[in-house]
Chain A
Amino acid sequence: MAGGVSLATNPTTAVELAPRHPSGLRLKNPVMTASGTFGYGTEYAKLVDVEQLGAIVTKAISPKPREGNPGPRTVETPSGMLNAIGWQNVGLEACIRDYAPIWRRWRVPVVVNLAGFSVEDYRTVAEALSATPGVAAVELNISCPNVASEGTPFALRADLAAEVTAAVREVCEVPLIVKLSPNVTDVVEIAAAVHAAGADALSLINTLVGLVIDTRSRRPFLGNVTGGLSGPAIRPVAVRMVYEVAKALPGVPLIGAGGVMCADDALQFIMAGARAVQVGTASFVNPRAAIEVAEGIEAFLAREGVADVNELVGVAL
């Protein structure tokens, strides 16, 4: 149509995040929630229609219930926030008993984020949850900066990250996402190692380690001293890291996360090479943020005459 504008009235928004896994992980749109910002999904279900989301990623689950860190646990920063919650969660048993039956009824895939202090911890939660109906996939949280494993967090070294990924892969029947830390020198090296060790998809980035001093008390503001920085302040860092990994590892499913507040932010991640995005801190600001991002992506596709969101993945590379 010379000179005309082609409008895709019903653009395709579905994405596949685990193409090499037998069951796959197909999302009806590329927008997920980010772990720790949407609880177990049930809290926001009273306010928003969670089934409009591409997927829900839960709060991190550890083998046993955890009380988390001393407070204060969060502090606002310029266009962002620091958090050091410390993996407070109900534990594996209560997760399976109380939440999985609800997730099973929802027409939206639920991805459970896994927390642990050892390879064995991760295997325990991965094995149990991957056998639980209602759990569509798991996301390995090896990058939380708040809880140091013995020595280095797994996400900070390629060999440790690959080791825990391979160990979990052995016992994990469902698609496996591994969430990467930005607090590293070379994220590409770690991404490559984790993918080679069996991750179906990589999500990036987790929070950036930060510190706020309370000048009145002359002490660190957070009970944990340091915390993870999230929110729109970190978005350009996250987009850059997705871009680097996408460039180095073409074809590996990437999930972009970090400061997505609106559809335009999400589209930046997609154009940088992400097949999907996670909306995190934005949900605190606007509980409908993730749904509005999904609606905004669809509107962008229609407006720009793009038939399928997958056509935009990595176009900026």
Chain B
Amino acid sequence: MRLFEGLVLANERAGEGLLMMRVRAPEAAREARAGQFLHVRCARPDGYDPLLRRPISIYRAADDELWLYFDVVGRGTAFLASLREGDRLDCLGPLGQPFRIPPNARNLLMVGGGIGLAPLAALADEALARELNVTILAGFRSGARALPGGFVPPAAEYVVATEDGAIGHAGYVTDLVPSYLGWADAVFACGPTRMLESLRRATAGTTKPVQVSLEERMGCAMGVCLSCVLHTDRGLKRVCRDGPVFDLAELQELQWRAA
């Protein structure tokens, strides 16, 4: 974990409203583990609006580069979308607990919704380097938002589901889970809360490990502001520091809600 300025190498469209940013950051790229994230400034150095950093999952960490796959949803990510080659990105990270591949697992099933694919792509890289079998089930709202297969590690099986039915399975990505669950030794997922709730139902009763990476609003991402806490079987946990990767079984809630 460090505070550093990355050099933006490219910031390219990766589906409708989505971008893939490549950042040169040799030390952080060496340090990063699959499932970790960067907390990035979304304003000019002397700008205070938007004030807070945004947590962005690391899509790939290799060759002195970190790749960030993000959805332009608000003012913070709009700032990120405005960055061009040669710009600097103020980063804090890599942060958070990474995915843990169980020692005896051979077949890894990864289930991603939208930008939830990001930490799974990093995990696929790690798993493929260890010669494990990887199937990525990826869900998108529409065909236009689907991540082109060229971004996905070629040795991984890449199965797409779209809600508009334009590409692949017409429906939710979690519809596909039951037919792969028997094959899988472990399941890894990241995506919107609704997708994770469906995954919980789709994997109910399985004894296989299911790890999920949670997307949550954060303040500091250092474990001090206590914005991103969740109830787990081990008590209140911070998504930024104790997560973002959790065993699905230990999560009593998938999102910190108003009582």
Contact = CB atoms under 8 A, between A and B. Distances in A.
B52 to A, nearest CB: 5
A81 B3 contact: no
A70 interface: yes
A74 B239 CA distance: 14
Interface stretch (A19-27, A34-42, A200-208): A34-42
A71 B51 contact: no
Interface in A59-100: 59, 67-68, 70-74, 76, 78-81, 83, 85, 88
A68 B51 contact: no
Given A70-B258, A85-B226, A288-B3, A283 B51 contact: no
Interface in A255-303: 261, 281, 283-288
A175 to B, nearest CB: 24
B222 A83 contact: no
A43 interface: yes
Contacts of A73: 226-227, 229, 256
Given A81-B51, A88-B236, A287-B3, A43 B256 contact: no
Contact of B222 (A43, A80, A261): A43
A73 B223 CA distance: 14
Majority DSSP secondary structure for residues of A touching B:
loop
Interface string B35-75: 00000010000001111110000000000000000000000
Contact of B229 (A47, A71, A261): A71
Contact of A74 (B1, B222, B225): B225
Contacts of A72: 217, 227, 256, 258
Interface string B130-152: 00000000000000000000000
Contacts, number: 96
B1 A47 contact: yes
A45 to B, nearest CB: 11
A71 B257 contact: yes
A80 B258 contact: no
B233 to A, nearest CB: 15
Given A73-B256, A79-B49, A88 B226 contact: yes
Contacts of B222: 39, 43-44, 47, 287
B53 A285 contact: yes
Contact of B224 (A59, A78, A79): A59
A74 B48 contact: no
What class of interface size applies to chain B in its complex with A?
20 to 34
A253 to B, nearest CB: 26
Contact of B92 (A37, A43, A74, A287): A287
Contact of A67 (B49, B225, B227, B236): B236
Contacts of B259: 70, 223
A134 interface: no
A105 interface: no
B220 interface: yes
A264 to B, nearest CB: 11
B171 interface: no
A232 interface: yes
Given A76-B50, A76-B52, A83 B227 contact: yes
Contacts of A68: 226, 229, 236
Contacts of A80: 51
B224 A261 contact: no
A145 interface: no
Interface in A117-133: none
Nearest to B224: A39
A144 to B, nearest CB: 14
Contact of A285 (B1, B41, B217): B41
Contacts of B51: 76, 79-81, 231-232, 281, 285
A46 interface: yes
A220 B88 CA distance: 36
Interface in B1-59: 1-3, 41, 48-53
Nearest to A231: B51
B219 interface: yes
Contacts of B223: 39, 43
Contacts of B53: 284-285
A176 to B, nearest CB: 24
Given A43-B241, A83-B225, 4 more contacts: A222-B258, A232-B48, A285-B41, A287-B3
Interface of A: 36-39, 43-44, 46-47, 59, 67-68, 70-74, 76, 78-81, 83, 85, 88, 219, 222-223, 231-232, 261, 281, 283-288
17 contacts: A39-B222, A39-B224, A47-B2, A59-B224, A67-B236, A68-B226, A70-B256, A70-B259, A71-B229, A72-B256, A74-B219, A81-B219, A88-B226, A88-B229, A261-B48, A285-B51, A287-B220
